[in-house]
Amino acid sequence: MEIFGHIENGVVVLEGGASLPEGTRVCVATAPPSRSEPEIVMIPGQLPIVRGGVPGSVHLTNERIHEIFEAEEIEALKRQWNVSS
């Protein structure tokens, strides 16, 4: 079972009001921070698709589009070379 939460005043607070019985053994690991930016999906030959954001919430300049394309190209090369991200 996987339950997410956060640390508040040095105590783990579980999300969604979840609770565990007293004495339950647990293992705590840090999770990557939640994404503050909307997900950007790249389809070769097309402009980026922004999911999860409000229309117009991502300011796509030429420089930002270049960064997105460059990141996608690097990830494709890593997959081709079987290198972990």
How far is Cα 85 from Cα 82, in angstroms, rounded to an integer? 9
pLDDT at position 49, please?
Answer: 66
Domain ranges of the chain: 5-80
User: Residue 7 carries which side chain, given as an amino acid letter?
Assistant: I
Residue showing tokens 């040095």: 10
Confidence bin at 53 (pLDDT 50/70/90): low
pLDDT in tens, 12-22: 888 888 888 88
What are φ and ψ of residue 69, in 5° steps?
-60, -40
Q: For residue 28, what are its two tokens?
A: 């705590």
